[in-house]
């Protein structure tokens, strides 16, 4: 740089030092700003707000300018408290494993993602994923039409009130393809329009797990049988002796 040349410097801002345990929500509350403002002034913060580091300074107020904002498609300006004071009845289309210690549910629409749902409901992505354990690590498996908790009560995880599995196996509610384990906590009866990726998303499982419990499934999942029951939550290790030899046995047991 030569003497006398002009240098463009970024505009100063009001800084906040991240504390241990801070979340984007707590930083925004402390500074009296919105999540959109925080991320617009700090573009290195990811959409899950999982990377602020204790001791790091973040911009929480841009001095000398007026923030005009950017509209996020589908986002709501309404802000609510993170925790509910009372629970409401769980809907029939509740996502598998979602806590029922919940004061508000949201039915996912086509095009939704975790960041948008979390933003609209004033909840952190990490809490949203914790109270809806069927959501995978990348939050790529939200199922349109299913209801997810977006406002749990403060002690939502103090007791086991979720729809997760117990130690008891349950009987298949319909005929089952040969090779299917009968050591199963949860069954899904195939209806028109079902496919393996949908089952994986709905129950928060992988294809490897689905195939391990239902060994009759081929590698392309092109042989689902309409009206048959498939295990969607079973033990991590399935023994050969716990598999159904044929659909006849289960049909007889159910008097079908």
> What digits encode the pLDDT tens for the residues 17-74?
888 888 888 888 788 887 778 888 888 887 777 778 888 888 888 755 554 555 556 5
241 DSSP 8-state letter? G
* Exposure of 56 in the CB half-sphere (CA atoms within 13 A): 13
- Say yes or no: 54 and 99 in one domain: no
pLDDT for res 91: 92
Question: Does residue 172 lie within any of the structural domains?
Answer: no
> Alpha-carbon Rg of the chain, whole angstroms?
24
* Contact between residue 194 and residue 208 where contact means Cβ atoms under 8 Å apart: no
* Structure-token match 């009866």, residue found: 189
| Residue 88, pLDDT above cutoff 90 | yes
| pLDDT tens for each residue of 157-186 | 875 444 444 458 899 999 999 989 988 999
CA distance 59 to 38: 7
- Say yes or no: 153 and 192 in one domain: no
Burial of 235 by CB count in 10 Å (0-12 exposed, 13-18 middle, 19+ buried)? middle
Number of domains comprising the chain: 3
pLDDT for res 244: 56
pLDDT for res 36: 79
85 DSSP 8-state letter? S
- Say yes or no: 194 and 247 in one domain: yes
Question: Does residue 170 lie within any of the structural domains?
Answer: no
* Contact between residue 59 and residue 41 where contact means Cβ atoms under 8 Å apart: yes
- Say yes or no: 88 and 150 in one domain: yes
- Say yes or no: 195 and 134 in one domain: no
For 71, the token pair is 């509209």
Question: Does residue 146 lie within any of the structural domains?
Answer: yes
* Domain span at 218: 186-253
Question: Does residue 135 lie within any of the structural domains?
Answer: yes
pLDDT band at 5; cut points 50, 70, 90? low
- Say yes or no: 82 and 127 in one domain: yes
- Say yes or no: 78 and 40 in one domain: no
Among 6-15, 110-119, 244-253, whose mean pLDDT is lowest? Answer: 244-253
Question: Does residue 178 lie within any of the structural domains?
Answer: no
For 107, the token pair is 């039915």
List, in sequence order, every residue forming a beta bridge with 107; answer none if it has no partner.
147
Question: Does residue 5 lie within any of the structural domains?
Answer: no
The kind and range of the H/E element at 13 are strand 13-17
Question: Does residue 6 lie within any of the structural domains?
Answer: no
* Contact between residue 95 and residue 146 where contact means Cβ atoms under 8 Å apart: yes
| pLDDT tens for each residue of 95-146 | 999 999 999 999 999 988 888 898 888 888 888 999 999 998 888 899 999 9
- How many C-beta atoms surround the C-beta of residue 135 within 10 A? 23
Extended beta strands in 18-156, E state: 57-62, 102-107, 147-152
The pLDDT > 70 percentage for the chain reads: 77
Whole-model pTM above 0.75?
Answer: no
The residue ranking higher by pLDDT, 29 or 229, is 229
């Amino acid at each position: 740089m030569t003497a006398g040349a002009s240098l463009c410097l970024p505009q100063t801002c009001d800084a906040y030092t991240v504390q241990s345990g801070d979340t984007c929500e707590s930083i925004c509350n402390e500074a009296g700003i919105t999540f959109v403002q925080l991320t617009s002034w700090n573009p290195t913060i990811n959409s899950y707000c999982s990377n602020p580091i204790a001791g790091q300074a973040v911009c929480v107020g841009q001095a000398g300018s007026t923030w005009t904002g950017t509209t996020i498609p589908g986002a709501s300006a309404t802000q609510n408290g993170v925790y509910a004071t009372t629970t409401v009845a769980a809907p029939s289309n509740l996502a598998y494993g979602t806590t029922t210690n919940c004061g508000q549910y949201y039915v996912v629409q086509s095009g939704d993602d975790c960041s948008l749902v979390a933003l609209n409901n004033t909840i952190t992505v990490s809490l949203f994923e914790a109270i809806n354990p069927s959501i995978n690590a990348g939050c790529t498996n939200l199922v349109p039409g299913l209801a997810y908790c977006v406002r749990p009560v403060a002690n939502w995880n103090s007791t086991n009130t979720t729809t997760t599995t117990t130690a008891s196996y349950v009987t298949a509610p319909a005929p089952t393809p040969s090779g299917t384990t009968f050591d199963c906590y949860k069954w899904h009866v195939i209806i028109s329009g079902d496919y393996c990726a949908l089952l994986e998303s709905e129950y928060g499982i992988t294809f490897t797990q689905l195939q391990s419990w239902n060994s009759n499934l081929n590698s392309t999942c092109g042989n689902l049988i309409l009206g048959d029951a498939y295990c969607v939550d079973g033990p991590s290790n399935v023994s050969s002796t716990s598999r159904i030899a044929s659909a006849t046995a289960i049909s007889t047991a159910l008097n079908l």
